[in-house]
Chain A
Protein backbone atom coordinates (compact mmCIF):
# COMPACT_ATOMS: atom_id res chain seq x y z
CA UNK A 1 0.00 0.00 0.00
CA UNK A 2 2.81 2.36 0.91
CA UNK A 3 4.50 1.51 -2.39
CA UNK A 4 1.29 2.42 -4.20
CA UNK A 5 0.92 5.77 -2.43
CA UNK A 6 4.57 6.67 -2.93
CA UNK A 7 4.29 5.76 -6.61
CA UNK A 8 1.18 7.89 -7.06
CA UNK A 9 2.81 10.87 -5.36
CA UNK A 10 5.90 10.44 -7.50
CA UNK A 11 3.81 10.09 -10.66
CA UNK A 12 1.87 13.29 -9.93
CA UNK A 13 5.05 15.16 -9.02
CA UNK A 14 6.82 14.08 -12.20
CA UNK A 15 3.72 14.95 -14.21
CA UNK A 16 3.43 18.50 -12.87
CA UNK A 17 7.15 19.16 -13.20
CA UNK A 18 6.99 17.81 -16.75
CA UNK A 19 4.02 20.04 -17.64
CA UNK A 20 5.74 23.16 -16.27
CA UNK A 21 8.94 22.27 -18.08
CA UNK A 22 7.06 21.81 -21.34
CA UNK A 23 5.31 25.17 -20.97
CA UNK A 24 8.55 26.98 -20.22
CA UNK A 25 10.51 25.08 -22.85
CA UNK A 26 8.25 26.77 -25.36
CA UNK A 27 9.00 30.17 -23.78
CA UNK A 28 12.75 29.44 -23.84
CA UNK A 29 12.53 28.38 -27.48
CA UNK A 30 10.73 31.57 -28.50
CA UNK A 31 13.22 33.70 -26.58
CA UNK A 32 16.31 31.95 -27.97
CA UNK A 33 15.01 31.99 -31.56
CA UNK A 34 14.11 35.65 -31.13
CA UNK A 35 17.60 36.56 -29.93
CA UNK A 36 19.18 34.56 -32.76
CA UNK A 37 17.09 36.67 -35.14
CA UNK A 38 17.85 39.91 -33.26
CA UNK A 39 14.30 40.26 -31.91
CA UNK A 40 13.04 40.49 -28.35
CA UNK A 41 10.62 37.61 -28.29
CA UNK A 42 7.73 37.49 -25.78
CA UNK A 43 7.99 40.61 -23.63
CA UNK A 44 4.49 41.86 -22.75
CA UNK A 45 3.00 39.25 -20.41
CA UNK A 46 4.90 39.50 -17.14
CA UNK A 47 8.58 40.45 -16.79
CA UNK A 48 10.43 39.32 -19.94
CA UNK A 49 7.29 37.48 -21.02
CA UNK A 50 7.66 34.99 -18.16
CA UNK A 51 3.90 34.57 -17.83
CA UNK A 52 3.48 33.98 -21.56
CA UNK A 53 3.06 30.15 -21.22
CA UNK A 54 0.17 30.72 -18.79
CA UNK A 55 -1.46 33.19 -21.18
CA UNK A 56 -1.04 30.68 -24.01
CA UNK A 57 -2.77 27.95 -22.00
CA UNK A 58 -5.72 30.25 -21.27
CA UNK A 59 -5.87 31.27 -24.91
CA UNK A 60 -5.79 27.71 -26.20
CA UNK A 61 -8.44 26.47 -23.78
CA UNK A 62 -10.87 29.30 -24.56
CA UNK A 63 -10.47 29.22 -28.36
CA UNK A 64 -13.31 27.95 -30.45
CA UNK A 65 -12.68 24.33 -31.37
CA UNK A 66 -13.77 23.67 -34.92
CA UNK A 67 -14.69 20.08 -35.75
CA UNK A 68 -15.24 19.96 -39.52
CA UNK A 69 -18.11 17.70 -40.66
CA UNK A 70 -15.94 15.79 -43.13
CA UNK A 71 -13.62 14.24 -40.54
CA UNK A 72 -13.77 10.72 -39.15
CA UNK A 73 -14.86 11.73 -35.62
CA UNK A 74 -13.53 8.80 -33.61
CA UNK A 75 -10.00 8.78 -35.01
CA UNK A 76 -9.98 12.56 -35.22
CA UNK A 77 -10.29 12.78 -31.44
CA UNK A 78 -8.22 9.67 -30.74
CA UNK A 79 -5.14 10.95 -32.61
CA UNK A 80 -4.16 13.87 -30.32
CA UNK A 81 -4.83 11.75 -27.23
CA UNK A 82 -2.52 8.98 -28.49
CA UNK A 83 0.15 11.49 -29.52
CA UNK A 84 0.26 13.30 -26.18
CA UNK A 85 -0.12 10.32 -23.80
CA UNK A 86 2.49 8.19 -25.55
CA UNK A 87 4.99 11.02 -25.60
CA UNK A 88 4.37 11.86 -21.93
CA UNK A 89 4.84 8.41 -20.42
CA UNK A 90 8.27 7.89 -21.95
CA UNK A 91 9.63 10.15 -19.19
CA UNK A 92 8.59 7.62 -16.49
CA UNK A 93 11.68 5.42 -16.94
CA UNK A 94 14.22 8.27 -16.99
CA UNK A 95 16.31 8.45 -13.80
CA UNK A 96 16.80 11.98 -12.41
CA UNK A 97 19.04 10.94 -9.53
CA UNK A 98 20.11 8.19 -7.17
CA UNK A 99 18.53 6.85 -4.01
CA UNK A 100 17.19 9.45 -1.59
CA UNK A 101 15.38 9.50 1.75
CA UNK A 102 12.36 11.78 2.16
CA UNK A 103 10.33 11.76 5.41
CA UNK A 104 11.84 8.39 6.36
CA UNK A 105 10.92 6.74 3.08
CA UNK A 106 13.77 5.56 0.90
CA UNK A 107 13.03 5.90 -2.76
CA UNK A 108 14.73 6.42 -6.11
CA UNK A 109 14.56 9.67 -8.03
CA UNK A 110 12.94 7.85 -10.90
CA UNK A 111 9.34 6.85 -11.37
CA UNK A 112 10.12 3.22 -12.12
CA UNK A 113 13.16 1.28 -13.24
CA UNK A 114 12.27 -1.42 -15.77
CA UNK A 115 14.78 -3.98 -17.01
CA UNK A 116 13.55 -3.11 -20.53
CA UNK A 117 13.64 0.67 -19.95
CA UNK A 118 15.33 1.63 -23.19
CA UNK A 119 13.17 -0.71 -25.28
CA UNK A 120 10.10 0.90 -23.74
CA UNK A 121 11.31 4.35 -24.75
CA UNK A 122 11.93 3.17 -28.32
CA UNK A 123 8.52 1.49 -28.45
CA UNK A 124 6.77 4.63 -27.21
CA UNK A 125 8.65 6.71 -29.78
CA UNK A 126 7.16 4.53 -32.52
CA UNK A 127 3.70 4.73 -30.95
CA UNK A 128 3.85 8.48 -31.51
CA UNK A 129 3.78 7.79 -35.27
CA UNK A 130 0.26 6.39 -34.89
CA UNK A 131 -1.04 9.66 -33.49
CA UNK A 132 0.32 11.64 -36.42
CA UNK A 133 -0.63 9.14 -39.14
CA UNK A 134 -4.17 8.84 -37.72
CA UNK A 135 -4.51 12.61 -37.48
CA UNK A 136 -3.52 13.00 -41.12
CA UNK A 137 -5.91 10.30 -42.30
CA UNK A 138 -8.89 11.20 -40.10
CA UNK A 139 -8.80 14.90 -41.02
CA UNK A 140 -9.89 14.10 -44.59
CA UNK A 141 -7.89 17.03 -45.86
CA UNK A 142 -5.34 16.73 -48.66
CA UNK A 143 -2.65 18.65 -46.82
CA UNK A 144 -3.22 16.65 -43.66
CA UNK A 145 -3.10 13.33 -45.48
CA UNK A 146 0.15 14.27 -47.21
CA UNK A 147 1.63 15.51 -43.93
CA UNK A 148 0.57 12.33 -42.14
CA UNK A 149 1.99 10.07 -44.85
CA UNK A 150 5.24 11.98 -45.04
CA UNK A 151 5.54 11.91 -41.30
CA UNK A 152 4.93 8.16 -41.03
CA UNK A 153 7.48 7.41 -43.76
CA UNK A 154 10.01 9.76 -42.21
CA UNK A 155 9.56 8.47 -38.68
CA UNK A 156 9.75 4.78 -39.57
CA UNK A 157 12.82 5.43 -41.73
CA UNK A 158 14.70 7.33 -39.05
CA UNK A 159 13.80 4.76 -36.43
CA UNK A 160 16.40 2.43 -37.97
CA UNK A 161 19.45 4.68 -37.43
CA UNK A 162 17.94 5.65 -34.07
CA UNK A 163 17.82 2.10 -32.73
CA UNK A 164 21.15 1.15 -34.34
CA UNK A 165 22.87 4.20 -32.88
CA UNK A 166 21.55 3.39 -29.41
CA UNK A 167 22.65 -0.26 -29.74
CA UNK A 168 26.35 0.64 -29.83
CA UNK A 169 26.58 2.12 -26.31
CA UNK A 170 24.71 -0.98 -25.14
CA UNK A 171 27.77 -2.98 -26.16
CA UNK A 172 29.68 -1.11 -23.46
CA UNK A 173 26.93 -0.94 -20.86
CA UNK A 174 25.33 -4.37 -21.32
CA UNK A 175 22.00 -3.45 -19.81
CA UNK A 176 18.65 -2.01 -20.89
CA UNK A 177 17.77 -0.60 -17.47
CA UNK A 178 18.38 3.13 -17.55
CA UNK A 179 19.32 3.31 -13.86
CA UNK A 180 21.99 0.63 -14.25
CA UNK A 181 23.32 2.44 -17.31
CA UNK A 182 24.01 5.52 -15.22
CA UNK A 183 25.65 3.57 -12.37
CA UNK A 184 27.94 1.91 -14.94
CA UNK A 185 29.15 5.31 -16.07
CA UNK A 186 30.28 6.32 -12.57
CA UNK A 187 33.88 7.27 -11.88
CA UNK A 188 36.63 9.13 -13.68
CA UNK A 189 39.40 8.14 -16.05
CA UNK A 190 42.87 9.65 -15.52
CA UNK A 191 41.41 11.49 -12.56
CA UNK A 192 39.45 14.09 -14.52
CA UNK A 193 37.71 12.61 -17.59
CA UNK A 194 34.24 11.34 -16.62
CA UNK A 195 33.62 7.69 -17.43
CA UNK A 196 30.59 8.49 -19.64
CA UNK A 197 29.88 6.44 -22.75
CA UNK A 198 31.03 9.23 -25.06
CA UNK A 199 34.50 9.07 -23.46
CA UNK A 200 34.55 5.48 -22.22
CA UNK A 201 37.19 3.08 -23.57
CA UNK A 202 37.68 0.99 -25.58
CA UNK A 203 35.16 2.57 -27.96
CA UNK A 204 34.16 6.21 -27.22
CA UNK A 205 30.63 6.79 -28.49
CA UNK A 206 30.90 10.38 -29.71
CA UNK A 207 29.93 9.40 -33.27
CA UNK A 208 27.11 7.26 -31.86
CA UNK A 209 25.75 10.27 -29.97
CA UNK A 210 25.82 12.47 -33.07
CA UNK A 211 24.04 9.76 -35.11
CA UNK A 212 21.47 9.35 -32.35
CA UNK A 213 20.86 13.08 -32.12
CA UNK A 214 20.39 13.42 -35.90
CA UNK A 215 17.89 10.57 -35.90
CA UNK A 216 16.19 12.05 -32.84
CA UNK A 217 15.77 15.37 -34.64
CA UNK A 218 13.94 13.54 -37.41
CA UNK A 219 11.87 11.47 -34.97
CA UNK A 220 10.67 14.58 -33.17
CA UNK A 221 9.90 16.38 -36.47
CA UNK A 222 12.19 19.28 -35.66
CA UNK A 223 13.83 21.58 -38.18
CA UNK A 224 15.71 20.63 -40.42
CA UNK A 225 13.45 17.56 -40.62
CA UNK A 226 10.04 19.17 -40.03
CA UNK A 227 8.67 18.10 -43.42
CA UNK A 228 5.34 16.85 -42.00
CA UNK A 229 4.33 20.41 -41.16
CA UNK A 230 6.33 22.30 -43.79
CA UNK A 231 4.10 25.39 -43.72
CA UNK A 232 5.18 26.71 -47.11
CA UNK A 233 3.85 23.64 -48.91
CA UNK A 234 1.42 21.87 -46.57
CA UNK A 235 -0.13 24.75 -44.52
CA UNK A 236 0.27 22.99 -41.15
CA UNK A 237 0.52 19.39 -42.32
CA UNK A 238 -1.18 16.75 -40.21
CA UNK A 239 -2.69 19.22 -37.75
CA UNK A 240 -4.16 21.64 -40.31
CA UNK A 241 -7.72 20.73 -39.24
CA UNK A 242 -7.01 20.81 -35.51
CA UNK A 243 -7.76 23.78 -33.29
CA UNK A 244 -7.88 24.81 -29.61
CA UNK A 245 -6.97 22.04 -27.12
CA UNK A 246 -6.63 19.40 -29.83
CA UNK A 247 -3.90 21.49 -31.42
CA UNK A 248 -2.35 22.10 -28.01
CA UNK A 249 -2.12 18.33 -27.52
CA UNK A 250 -0.01 17.91 -30.66
CA UNK A 251 2.09 20.88 -29.68
CA UNK A 252 2.71 19.39 -26.25
CA UNK A 253 3.52 16.00 -27.77
CA UNK A 254 6.22 17.58 -29.94
CA UNK A 255 7.90 19.32 -27.03
CA UNK A 256 7.56 16.28 -24.82
CA UNK A 257 9.24 14.13 -27.49
CA UNK A 258 12.04 16.64 -27.67
CA UNK A 259 12.49 16.52 -23.91
CA UNK A 260 12.49 12.71 -23.92
CA UNK A 261 15.08 12.61 -26.69
CA UNK A 262 17.34 14.97 -24.76
CA UNK A 263 16.84 13.05 -21.50
CA UNK A 264 17.59 9.68 -23.13
CA UNK A 265 20.73 11.08 -24.76
CA UNK A 266 21.81 12.43 -21.38
CA UNK A 267 21.20 9.09 -19.68
CA UNK A 268 22.78 6.82 -22.28
CA UNK A 269 25.67 8.92 -23.53
CA UNK A 270 26.32 11.67 -20.99
CA UNK A 271 26.18 9.84 -17.68
CA UNK A 272 22.73 10.96 -16.54
CA UNK A 273 22.81 12.65 -13.16
CA UNK A 274 26.55 12.11 -12.56
CA UNK A 275 28.76 15.18 -12.09
CA UNK A 276 31.15 16.23 -14.85
CA UNK A 277 34.01 17.02 -12.47
CA UNK A 278 35.49 14.80 -9.74
CA UNK A 279 35.37 15.44 -5.99
CA UNK A 280 34.98 18.92 -4.52
CA UNK A 281 35.08 20.71 -7.91
CA UNK A 282 31.96 18.83 -9.03
CA UNK A 283 30.18 19.67 -5.77
CA UNK A 284 31.04 23.36 -5.92
CA UNK A 285 30.02 24.14 -9.51
CA UNK A 286 26.29 24.25 -8.81
CA UNK A 287 26.46 26.65 -5.81
CA UNK A 288 29.06 28.71 -7.68
CA UNK A 289 26.75 29.11 -10.69
CA UNK A 290 23.82 30.22 -8.55
CA UNK A 291 25.95 32.42 -6.30
CA UNK A 292 27.35 34.19 -9.38
CA UNK A 293 23.81 34.75 -10.60
CA UNK A 294 22.91 36.18 -7.20
CA UNK A 295 25.98 38.45 -7.16
CA UNK A 296 25.20 39.82 -10.62
CA UNK A 297 21.59 40.53 -9.59
CA UNK A 298 22.73 42.20 -6.38
CA UNK A 299 25.24 44.39 -8.25
CA UNK A 300 22.62 45.58 -10.71
CA UNK A 301 20.14 46.03 -7.86
CA UNK A 302 22.57 48.36 -6.08
CA UNK A 303 23.29 50.26 -9.31
CA UNK A 304 19.79 50.26 -10.79
CA UNK A 305 19.34 51.11 -14.47
CA UNK A 306 15.57 51.48 -14.03
CA UNK A 307 13.66 52.54 -10.94
CA UNK A 308 11.98 49.21 -10.29
CA UNK A 309 15.32 47.33 -10.46
CA UNK A 310 16.10 48.71 -7.01
CA UNK A 311 13.48 46.39 -5.52
CA UNK A 312 13.08 43.47 -7.96
CA UNK A 313 16.73 42.55 -8.52
CA UNK A 314 17.69 42.19 -4.82
CA UNK A 315 14.73 39.80 -4.50
CA UNK A 316 16.09 37.71 -7.37
CA UNK A 317 19.54 37.87 -5.76
CA UNK A 318 18.06 36.46 -2.55
CA UNK A 319 16.39 33.64 -4.50
CA UNK A 320 19.66 32.77 -6.20
CA UNK A 321 21.63 32.83 -2.95
CA UNK A 322 18.97 30.60 -1.41
CA UNK A 323 19.36 28.11 -4.28
CA UNK A 324 23.13 28.19 -3.84
CA UNK A 325 22.71 27.45 -0.13
CA UNK A 326 20.44 24.53 -1.06
CA UNK A 327 23.38 22.80 -2.70
CA UNK A 328 25.53 23.19 0.40
CA UNK A 329 23.02 22.02 3.04
CA UNK A 330 23.69 18.30 3.61
CA UNK A 331 20.15 16.81 3.58
CA UNK A 332 18.99 18.74 0.51
CA UNK A 333 22.27 18.38 -1.31
CA UNK A 334 21.64 14.73 -2.23
CA UNK A 335 18.41 15.71 -3.98
CA UNK A 336 19.52 18.97 -5.56
CA UNK A 337 22.93 17.91 -6.89
CA UNK A 338 21.80 15.09 -9.26
CA UNK A 339 18.91 17.25 -10.41
CA UNK A 340 21.31 20.08 -11.21
CA UNK A 341 23.60 17.87 -13.32
CA UNK A 342 20.73 16.11 -15.06
CA UNK A 343 19.04 19.43 -15.77
CA UNK A 344 22.27 21.03 -16.96
CA UNK A 345 23.02 18.26 -19.46
CA UNK A 346 19.44 17.94 -20.71
CA UNK A 347 19.15 21.71 -20.90
CA UNK A 348 22.34 21.97 -22.96
CA UNK A 349 21.00 19.38 -25.41
CA UNK A 350 17.65 21.17 -25.63
CA UNK A 351 19.52 24.37 -26.35
CA UNK A 352 21.24 22.58 -29.25
CA UNK A 353 17.79 21.55 -30.53
CA UNK A 354 16.64 25.18 -30.47
CA UNK A 355 19.92 26.53 -31.81
CA UNK A 356 19.71 24.24 -34.85
CA UNK A 357 16.13 25.35 -35.43
CA UNK A 358 17.35 28.91 -35.55
CA UNK A 359 20.24 28.06 -37.89
CA UNK A 360 19.40 25.47 -40.53
CA UNK A 361 16.90 25.56 -43.41
CA UNK A 362 14.53 22.67 -44.15
CA UNK A 363 15.45 19.61 -46.26
CA UNK A 364 13.65 18.68 -49.45
CA UNK A 365 11.72 15.43 -49.11
CA UNK A 366 13.87 13.33 -51.45
CA UNK A 367 17.00 14.64 -49.69
CA UNK A 368 15.47 13.65 -46.37
CA UNK A 369 14.76 10.07 -47.38
CA UNK A 370 18.03 9.71 -49.29
CA UNK A 371 20.00 11.00 -46.32
CA UNK A 372 18.42 8.43 -44.04
CA UNK A 373 18.58 5.35 -46.26
CA UNK A 374 21.81 6.00 -48.16
CA UNK A 375 23.93 7.67 -45.52
CA UNK A 376 22.69 7.50 -41.94
CA UNK A 377 21.61 3.84 -41.95
CA UNK A 378 24.83 2.34 -43.41
CA UNK A 379 26.95 4.62 -41.22
CA UNK A 380 25.04 3.50 -38.13
CA UNK A 381 25.56 -0.16 -39.03
CA UNK A 382 29.27 0.37 -39.66
CA UNK A 383 29.60 2.29 -36.40
CA UNK A 384 27.95 -0.55 -34.54
CA UNK A 385 30.31 -3.08 -36.13
CA UNK A 386 33.35 -0.93 -35.38
CA UNK A 387 32.28 -0.61 -31.75
CA UNK A 388 31.72 -4.36 -31.53
CA UNK A 389 35.19 -5.06 -32.92
CA UNK A 390 36.87 -2.60 -30.57
CA UNK A 391 35.05 -4.03 -27.54
CA UNK A 392 35.89 -7.60 -28.58
CA UNK A 393 39.58 -6.71 -29.14
CA UNK A 394 39.78 -5.12 -25.71
CA UNK A 395 38.53 -8.43 -24.32
Chain B
Protein backbone atom coordinates (compact mmCIF):
# COMPACT_ATOMS: atom_id res chain seq x y z
CA UNK B 1 0.00 0.00 0.00
CA UNK B 2 2.22 2.80 -1.28
CA UNK B 3 -0.31 5.56 -0.44
CA UNK B 4 0.28 4.78 3.24
CA UNK B 5 3.75 6.25 2.86
CA UNK B 6 2.52 9.66 1.58
CA UNK B 7 1.65 10.99 5.06
CA UNK B 8 4.96 9.63 6.31
CA UNK B 9 6.87 11.67 3.75
CA UNK B 10 4.79 14.77 4.49
CA UNK B 11 5.68 14.37 8.14
CA UNK B 12 9.32 13.72 7.24
CA UNK B 13 9.38 16.99 5.29
CA UNK B 14 7.90 18.86 8.26
CA UNK B 15 10.33 17.18 10.66
CA UNK B 16 13.36 18.06 8.53
CA UNK B 17 12.20 21.59 7.75
CA UNK B 18 11.60 22.36 11.42
CA UNK B 19 15.23 22.14 12.68
CA UNK B 20 16.58 23.70 9.47
CA UNK B 21 14.22 26.69 9.72
CA UNK B 22 14.86 27.00 13.46
CA UNK B 23 18.63 27.01 12.93
CA UNK B 24 18.46 29.62 10.16
CA UNK B 25 15.96 31.77 12.09
CA UNK B 26 18.11 31.68 15.22
CA UNK B 27 21.08 32.86 13.15
CA UNK B 28 19.31 36.18 12.43
CA UNK B 29 17.99 36.71 15.94
CA UNK B 30 20.91 35.82 18.18
CA UNK B 31 24.00 37.92 18.86
CA UNK B 32 27.26 36.77 17.29
CA UNK B 33 30.43 38.07 18.95
CA UNK B 34 33.06 35.33 18.84
CA UNK B 35 36.41 35.75 20.51
CA UNK B 36 39.54 33.62 20.61
CA UNK B 37 38.85 32.19 24.06
CA UNK B 38 35.20 31.44 23.26
CA UNK B 39 36.17 29.45 20.19
CA UNK B 40 38.63 27.17 21.93
CA UNK B 41 37.75 23.53 22.38
CA UNK B 42 35.76 23.03 25.58
CA UNK B 43 38.26 20.89 27.44
CA UNK B 44 38.46 22.18 31.03
CA UNK B 45 40.26 25.39 30.10
CA UNK B 46 43.53 23.65 29.33
CA UNK B 47 45.18 24.44 26.00
CA UNK B 48 44.32 21.69 23.52
CA UNK B 49 47.45 19.59 23.16
CA UNK B 50 46.63 17.34 20.21
CA UNK B 51 44.00 16.53 17.63
CA UNK B 52 41.01 14.77 19.14
CA UNK B 53 40.71 12.05 16.55
CA UNK B 54 43.40 9.96 18.21
CA UNK B 55 43.43 6.23 18.77
CA UNK B 56 40.85 4.70 21.07
CA UNK B 57 40.23 1.29 22.57
CA UNK B 58 39.66 -1.67 20.24
CA UNK B 59 36.72 -2.74 22.43
CA UNK B 60 34.41 -0.48 20.43
CA UNK B 61 35.22 -2.43 17.26
CA UNK B 62 34.58 -5.79 18.94
CA UNK B 63 31.21 -4.56 20.18
CA UNK B 64 30.38 -3.35 16.67
CA UNK B 65 31.24 -6.73 15.12
CA UNK B 66 29.25 -8.64 17.76
CA UNK B 67 26.36 -6.27 17.19
CA UNK B 68 26.29 -6.99 13.45
CA UNK B 69 26.16 -10.76 14.06
CA UNK B 70 23.43 -10.71 16.66
CA UNK B 71 21.38 -7.91 15.17
CA UNK B 72 20.99 -9.86 11.95
CA UNK B 73 19.71 -12.66 14.15
CA UNK B 74 17.17 -10.34 15.77
CA UNK B 75 16.00 -9.11 12.37
CA UNK B 76 15.48 -12.72 11.21
CA UNK B 77 13.43 -13.39 14.32
CA UNK B 78 10.94 -10.56 13.66
CA UNK B 79 9.37 -12.02 10.46
CA UNK B 80 9.45 -15.45 12.11
CA UNK B 81 7.45 -14.05 15.04
CA UNK B 82 4.90 -12.44 12.72
CA UNK B 83 4.23 -15.71 10.82
CA UNK B 84 4.48 -17.85 13.93
CA UNK B 85 0.91 -19.15 14.15
CA UNK B 86 1.10 -20.29 10.53
CA UNK B 87 4.41 -22.10 10.99
CA UNK B 88 3.42 -24.00 14.17
CA UNK B 89 5.81 -26.63 15.55
CA UNK B 90 7.89 -26.47 12.38
CA UNK B 91 8.66 -22.85 13.26
CA UNK B 92 9.65 -23.80 16.80
CA UNK B 93 12.05 -26.50 15.58
CA UNK B 94 13.59 -24.29 12.92
CA UNK B 95 14.24 -21.35 15.21
CA UNK B 96 15.62 -23.70 17.88
CA UNK B 97 18.28 -24.89 15.42
CA UNK B 98 18.96 -21.28 14.40
CA UNK B 99 19.34 -20.14 18.01
CA UNK B 100 21.53 -23.10 18.98
CA UNK B 101 24.02 -22.17 16.24
CA UNK B 102 24.07 -18.59 17.52
CA UNK B 103 24.25 -19.70 21.14
CA UNK B 104 27.44 -21.63 20.33
CA UNK B 105 28.90 -18.43 18.90
CA UNK B 106 27.75 -16.47 21.94
CA UNK B 107 29.33 -18.94 24.38
CA UNK B 108 32.57 -18.91 22.37
CA UNK B 109 32.67 -15.10 22.42
CA UNK B 110 31.92 -15.15 26.16
CA UNK B 111 34.75 -17.66 26.85
CA UNK B 112 37.17 -15.65 24.70
CA UNK B 113 36.42 -12.61 26.83
CA UNK B 114 34.94 -10.56 23.99
CA UNK B 115 32.10 -9.45 26.26
CA UNK B 116 34.41 -8.19 29.01
CA UNK B 117 34.97 -4.46 29.12
CA UNK B 118 38.41 -3.70 30.48
Interface positions of A (Cβ within 8 A of B): 3-4, 7-8, 10-12, 14-15, 60-66, 68-70, 77, 80-81, 84-85, 88-89, 92-93, 111-115, 118-119, 137, 139-146, 149, 152-153, 156-157, 159-160, 163-164, 167-168, 170-171, 174-176, 235, 240-241, 244-246, 248-249, 365-366, 369-370, 373-374, 377-378, 381, 384-385, 388-389, 391-392
Contact = CB atoms under 8 A, between A and B. Distances in A.
Given A369-B63, A370-B115, A374-B110, A170 B53 contact: no
Interface in B4-46: 4-8, 10-12, 14-16, 18-20, 22-23, 25-27, 29-34, 38-44
Contacts of A176: 78, 82
A157 B67 contact: yes
A167 B81 contact: yes
Contact of B74 (A144, A167, A174): A167
Given A66-B34, A68-B40, A370-B117, A119 B78 contact: yes
Contacts of B27: 65
B15, B23, B116 pick with most chain A CB within 10 angstroms:
B15
Given A15-B11, A156-B67, A171-B84, A113 B60 contact: no
A89 to B, nearest CB: 5
B75 interface: yes
Interface of B: 1, 3-8, 10-12, 14-16, 18-20, 22-23, 25-27, 29-34, 38-44, 48, 51-54, 56, 59-60, 63-64, 66-67, 70-71, 74-75, 77-78, 81-85, 88-89, 91-92, 95-96, 99, 103, 106, 110, 115-118
Contacts of A385: 95-96, 99
Contact of B43 (A12, A141, A168): A141
Nearest to A58: B29
B64 to A, nearest CB: 7
Contacts of B29: 61-62
Given A249-B19, A388-B91, 9 more contacts: A60-B26, A66-B39, A85-B16, A112-B5, A114-B1, A153-B63, A176-B82, A235-B42, A244-B30
